């Protein structure tokens, strides 16, 4: 049983009693911390923490089986939880990115068979092992930037075999990686060109062919639909979400990125775990979300990278909603899984305080993966998934000093990584 004692922590950030499953409204601004702290890890879990002058700390130093880490000048944060990614993909798409710079919109690229369909063509040819190896490298990259849990979607397959291939890769990643991983089946990510004259046939394929196979092999935890202008309608989305629920898969859907598409309301109606993107969120959408158990999730990387409008995060929090923020790591609209950058964007572009931004990227994203009882804060009994920063002056410095990695050391499941 490995034990680690981290001592002289300048500030231990994101403490709670482990019972808080999410933070909403004003609560999002509360981030409990302890200065001059220690933290004890035993058996993969956070076993205890306190301040350096506790008597308990003196007792712990007598346990010479514990490895000691001196964190003088450094802070400890709960690992980021990234509740929305597409990080299993066949190839980068930087040529389309240049088309975008020259003026083509995301929708125009999609209409001419680029975008998601471009990835889907490459996916058909990609051997499973290569797909797995490339994704594993991306996991290493996000671990080094402080992520401790990640959701990964299918959706570049768009055929029975190709979707299953992606989901099998995600299953292998779950087995091999120290990260907590959840898999989401996104068969309805885009309509393949050959179904343009017969949309219903593709939805039938998703519901009647793909979904039963996915469920039979236990390949997914959730189901997703890109419910938006030019992609899938609220009616089509409702049908898919209903079918998913019959197999015990709750929705985590793409909604309201390109228009007031009705996606948010559809997600709420089917008790989706989260609705994600939300650039087009108005009063009606906020009203729909308020009484629900659905986590509104904003993806700052996508709006930034596509140079599109920003979701009204401030308004949503002020209305009493919780807000989560995830990376959307994917080759088309957000080619980065760096959650520290998301933290900076949360503050700079969405006017979240650094405290709100930390809650948005830890406990609230953990809620959006149903793991906030296990991770997303520093609490006794939670899994020891955390990172030690480089020497930094304040918590606020993390979003402020944007663009470089402030993580010095990563601990996942109570073990030092790297
Ligand atoms: O979340 N909006 C839909 N899907 C992804 C983009 C995927 C892609 O372009 O490859 C997103 O932004
Ligand atoms: Fe996405």
| Rounded-to-integer distance, Cα 274 and Cα 255, Å | 10
Task: Flag whether pLDDT at 98 surpasses 80.
Answer: yes
Q: Does domain 3-78+377-417 have CATH number 3.30.465.10?
A: no
Band the pLDDT of 113: cuts 50, 70, 90: confident
| Rounded-to-integer distance, Cα 186 and Cα 290, Å | 26
Q: Where are the domains of the chain?
A: 3-78+377-417, 81-367
pLDDT, average across residues 331-342: 97
Task: Flag whether pLDDT at 328 surpasses 80.
Answer: yes
What is the average pLDDT score of the chain? Answer: 97
Return the residue whose CA atom lies nearest to atom 3 of ligand 1: 226
Position 392 scores a pLDDT of 98
Band the pLDDT of 110: cuts 50, 70, 90: confident
Task: Flag whether pLDDT at 353 surpasses 80.
Answer: yes
pLDDT in tens, 370-386: 999 999 999 999 999 99
Q: Among 184, 308, 328, which is best to mutate for testing ligand 1, by the most ligand atoms less than 8 A from CB? A: 328
Position 243 scores a pLDDT of 98
Ligand 2 centroid vs 254 CA: distance in angstroms? 6
**Do residues 76 and 406 lie in contact, with contact meaning Cβ atoms separated by under 8 Å?**
no
Ligand 2 centroid vs 84 CA: distance in angstroms? 6
Position 47 scores a pLDDT of 97
Return the residue whose CA atom lies nearest to atom 7 of ligand 1: 332
Ligand 1 centroid vs 115 CA: distance in angstroms? 8
pLDDT, average across residues 280-307: 97
Which one of 51-55, 63-67, 323-327 scores highest in mean pLDDT? 323-327
Position 106 scores a pLDDT of 86
pLDDT in tens, 12-33: 999 999 999 999 999 999 999 9
Position 228 scores a pLDDT of 97
Position 63 scores a pLDDT of 83
Residues of the chain above pLDDT 70, percent: 100
Position 251 scores a pLDDT of 98
Band the pLDDT of 217: cuts 50, 70, 90: very high
CATH node for 81-367: 3.20.20.140
CA angle 35, 39, 43 (to 5 degrees): 165
Task: Flag whether pLDDT at 319 surpasses 80.
Answer: yes
Band the pLDDT of 107: cuts 50, 70, 90: confident
Closest approach atom of ligand 1 to CA 226: 3
CA angle 390, 22, 414 (to 5 degrees): 45
Ligand 1 is surrounded, with C-beta below 6 A, by: 86, 115-116, 119, 226, 254, 257, 302, 328, 330-333
Closest approach atom of ligand 1 to CA 93: 10
Position 111 scores a pLDDT of 85
Position 280 scores a pLDDT of 98
Torsions phi, psi of 240, nearest 5? -70, -40
Position 403 scores a pLDDT of 95
pLDDT in tens, 126-136: 999 999 999 99
Ligand 1 centroid vs 116 CA: distance in angstroms? 7
pLDDT in tens, 115-164: 999 999 999 999 999 999 999 999 999 999 999 999 999 999 999 999 99
Closest approach atom of ligand 1 to CA 277: 1
pLDDT in tens, 178-188: 999 999 999 99
Strands 147-153 and 180-188 come out as parallel
Return the residue whose CA atom lies nearest to atom 12 of ligand 1: 333
Task: Flag whether pLDDT at 418 surpasses 80.
Answer: no
Task: Flag whether pLDDT at 112 surpasses 90.
Answer: no
């Amino acid at each position: 049983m490995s034990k680690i004692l981290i001592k002289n922590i300048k500030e231990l950030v994101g403490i709670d009693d482990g019972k808080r499953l999410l933070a909403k409204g004003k609560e999002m601004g509360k981030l409990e911390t302890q200065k001059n702290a220690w933290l004890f890890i035993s058996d993969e879990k956070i076993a205890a923490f306190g301040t350096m002058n506790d008597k308990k700390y003196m007792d712990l130093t007598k346990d010479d089986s514990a490895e000691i880490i001196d964190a003088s000048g450094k802070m400890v944060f709960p690992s980021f939880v990234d509740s929305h990614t597409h990080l299993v993909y066949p190839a980068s798409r930087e040529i389309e990115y240049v088309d975008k710079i020259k003026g083509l919109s995301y929708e125009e690229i999609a209409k001419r068979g680029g975008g998601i369909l471009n990835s889907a063509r490459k996916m058909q040819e990609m051997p499973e092992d290569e797909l797995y190896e490339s994704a594993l490298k991306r996991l290493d990259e996000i671990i080094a930037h402080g992520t401790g849990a990640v959701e990964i979607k299918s959706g570049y397959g768009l055929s029975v075999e190709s979707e299953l291939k992606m989901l099998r890769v995600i299953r292998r990643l779950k087995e091999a990686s120290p990260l907590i991983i959840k898999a989401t089946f996104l068969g309805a990510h885009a309509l393949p060109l050959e179904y343009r004259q017969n949309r219903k046939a593709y939805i039938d394929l998703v519901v009647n062919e793909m979904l039963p196979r996915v469920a039979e092999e236990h390949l997914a935890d959730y189901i997703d639909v890109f419910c938006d202008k030019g992609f899938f309608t609220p009616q089509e989305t409702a049908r898919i979400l209903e079918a998913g629920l019959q197999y015990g898969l709750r929705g985590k859907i793409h909604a309201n990125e390109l228009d007031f598409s009705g996606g948010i309301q559809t997600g709420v109606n089917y008790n989706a775990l989260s609705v994600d993107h939300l650039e087009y969120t108005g009063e009606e959408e906020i009203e729909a979300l308020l009484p629900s158990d659905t986590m509104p999730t904003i993806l700052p990387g996508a709006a930034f990278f596509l140079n599109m409008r920003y979701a009204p995060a401030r308004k949503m929090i002020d209305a009493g909603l919780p807000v989560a923020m995830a990376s959307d790591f994917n080759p088309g609209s957000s080619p980065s899984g760096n959650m520290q950058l998301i933290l900076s964007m949360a503050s700079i572009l969405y006017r979240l305080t650094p405290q709100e931004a930390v809650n948005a990227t830890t406990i609230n994203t953990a809620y959006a993966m149903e793991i906030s009882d296990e991770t997303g804060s520093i609490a006794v009994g939670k899994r020891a998934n955390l990172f030690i920063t480089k020497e930094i002056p304040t918590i606020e410095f993390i979003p402020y000093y944007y663009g470089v990695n402030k993580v010095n050391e990563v601990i996942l499941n109570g073990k030092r990584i790297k």
